[in-house]
Amino acid sequence: MAAANMDDIAEVFKKLRFQKTLFGGVSQKDVWRKLENLQKEYRSAYEAQQNRYEGRLQERDAIIASLRERLGEHPGQPEAQPEKRQGEAPVKGTAHE
């Protein structure tokens, strides 16, 4: 099972059972094997989350590029600054101060 999110990992924990030993306790070998499998599930969930995140970033970048194109801007071009009119006081916090 490849975990896609933390709910999938919670299901793995619910089903997790360790092999018992003759004198009580659990088999150390079995515990390590189950922990290794659990690590793989966490890695799978992390990678799925990373892929979703990367997809959202690409979608955001595409939207920004589309909006800039509609505004007539090009990537790398500085944003247009408002023109200073004669007789107007500079607005605090702008490049026209």
The DSSP output letter for 78 is: P
What per-residue confidence (pLDDT) applies to 47? 94
pTM, entire model = 0.57
What per-residue confidence (pLDDT) applies to 49? 93
44, 46, 47 from 40: Cα distances, Å = 6, 10, 10
pLDDT tens sequence across 46-91:
999 999 999 999 999 999 999 999 998 766 666 666 666 666 666 6
pLDDT tens sequence across 75-86:
666 666 666 666
34 exposure class (CB count in 10 Å sphere: 0-12, 13-18, 19+): middle
